[in-house]
Amino acid sequence: MGEGPTITTIAERAGVSIASVSRVLNGLPTRQETERKVLAAAEELGYVRNAVARSLKSRRTHQVAFAMADVGNPAYLAMLREIQPVLKAAGYRLVLHSTDAVVADEIDVLHSLGERYVDGLIMVPLRVTEAHLTMLATARAPVVIIGSVPEDTPVDNVRADSRTGVRLALDHLHALGRRRIGLVNGPLDTVPGAARGAAYREALGALGLPYDEELVEIGDFYRAEGGRAVAALLDRVPDVDALMCANDLIALGALDVLRAAGRRVPQDVAVVGMDDTDLAAASWPSLSSVSLGSAERGRAAAELLLDRLQYGEREPRLVTVPPHLVVRASSGRAGAEEPEGNTS
């Protein structure tokens, strides 16, 4: 773990100047003899370029940060899984920030762009505050936001269309004959929470169903919280016949509680989740879910950022990824999805 060789060590060994060493290492035109000597010396000494010194001079770190609330959330994970290879292929390293949904942490990340340890940032803010917007306006490196920001924010923006997503789910449930469709949402001051709440109301309108406040319950985007919210909802509105859940974790919580309450899914209550995570396919019963294209959003964000890193200044772009509904057992016809004969 000694203090590895530097360009100077090599220069001495090869009997040339450090400039020549640098040139050889960067593939700039050099006499064959010099090249040979330098490469030989580098090889013998096991030389590896110091990335920090390089970055200082070149003002490029070849690192990109990805900041989201929690890697454990499968929706973010899906993004990460797409972002990583795209960056890697372009020669960038990925610096991961978990902000635990704490606004101050997100602001911190934006602020730390000034430290210039990354060339750019992809961020999925849970809520967008005034502080976010100020920081974004003066950010010291290119930023791509996944989630909605106001029109005039000077950053690239990738959005899901949860409005259409909720609409797809409600159309589906309506087509199944459900009329008392509840919404189990996350906090309304979060970007997804607000969007999904509004979309729900709108979709009901389009279907000619009344908006009934009783049918809406706010919890948080986690399984246990979702379960609690569903329990409260069942208590208040026993005749609910379908649940639109604002994400898959909430939906899993819903399944837990419905099972404990002796309601059959989907016969008594149909359930639709959102994000179409791995968990949806693995759950019991398997969970219908609206895919908001997490993976596609991740990929789009990475590509936007790389494009900007490569070509510099240009108009901010907006990419909207279309949703689609994946129907599984939790809202299929009873048992239709699964072979019969399996009790347990």
Binding positions for DNA, rule: CB under 7 A = 3, 6-8, 15-23, 25-26, 29-31, 33-34, 47, 49-50, 53-54, 56-59
Q: Residue 54 or 179: which CB sits closer to DNA?
A: 54
DSSP type of residue 117: S
> For DNA, which is the closer residue by CB, 15 or 238?
15
Q: Which amino acid is at 4?
A: G
CB-count exposure of residue 26 (10 Å: 0-12, 13-18, 19+): exposed
Query: What are the two backbone dihedrals, phi and then psi, of residue 281, each rounded to the nearest 5 degrees?
Result: -70, -25
Sign of CA dihedral 22, 25, 31, 37: positive
Binding residue for a copy of itself (CB under 8 A) from 252, 290, 304, 305? 252
- Judged by CB under 8 A, the stretch of 171-179, 201-209, 239-247, 258-266 that binds a copy of itself is 258-266
Q: With CB cut-offs between 5 and 8 Å by kind, which of DNA, a copy of itself, none does residue 221 bind?
A: none
| CA–CA dist 215, 119 (Å, integer) | 46
* Residue number, 18 or 107, with CB nearest to DNA: 18
Stretch 116-145 residues interacting with a copy of itself (CB under 8 A): 116-117, 138-142
Instruction: List the single partner that 1 binds among DNA, a copy of itself, none, CB under 5 to 8 Å by kind.
Output: a copy of itself
Q: Is 293 in the site for a copy of itself (CB under 8 A)?
A: no
Length of the chain in residues, anyone? 344
Q: Which is nearer to a copy of itself, 129 or 138 (CB)?
A: 138
d(CA 145, CA 122): 6
Strands 288-291 and 324-326: antiparallel
We find the least distance from the C-beta atom of residue 120 to DNA, in angstroms, to be 17
Q: Which does 117 bind (CB under 5 to 8 A by kind): a copy of itself, DNA, none?
A: a copy of itself
Considering only residues 165 to 184 of the shown chain, the ones binding a copy of itself according to CB under 8 A are none
Q: What is the DSSP string of 246-298?
A: SSHHHHHHHHHHHHHTT--TTTT-EEEEES--HHHHHSSSPPEEEE--HHHHH
Please, which residue, 38 or 274, has the CB nearer to DNA? 38
Give the gyration radius of the chain's Cα atoms.
Answer: 26
| Segment contacting a copy of itself by CB under 8 A, of 12-20, 70-78, 125-133, 200-208 | 70-78
Q: Does 153 bind a copy of itself (CB under 8 A)?
A: no
Give the E-state strand segments of 13-161 in sequence order: 63-68, 93-98, 120-123, 143-146, 156-160
Give CA–CA dist 272/177, Å, rounded: 14
Asked if 272 touches a copy of itself (CB under 8 A), the answer is no
Place of tokens 């050889």: 24
Q: How far is CA 297 from CA 28, 189, 207, 293, in A?
A: 39, 22, 29, 6
Which range in 12-20, 124-132, 234-242, 284-292 contacts a copy of itself by CB under 8 A? 284-292
| 222 belongs to the binding site for a copy of itself (CB under 8 A) | yes
If the CB atoms of residues 53 and 260 are measured against DNA, the closer one turns out to be 53
25 binds a copy of itself (CB under 8 A): no
Q: Which of 17, 22, 84, 153 binds a copy of itself (CB under 8 A)?
A: 84
Out of 7, 41, 77, 305, name the contact with a copy of itself by CB under 8 A: 77
Determine if 55 is a binding residue for a copy of itself (CB under 8 A). yes
Q: How far is the CB of 169 from a copy of itself (least distance, A)?
A: 19
Compute the distance between CA of residue 267 and CA of residue 263 in angstroms, rounded to an integer. Answer: 8
Comparison of 31 and 259: residue with beta carbon closer to a copy of itself: 259
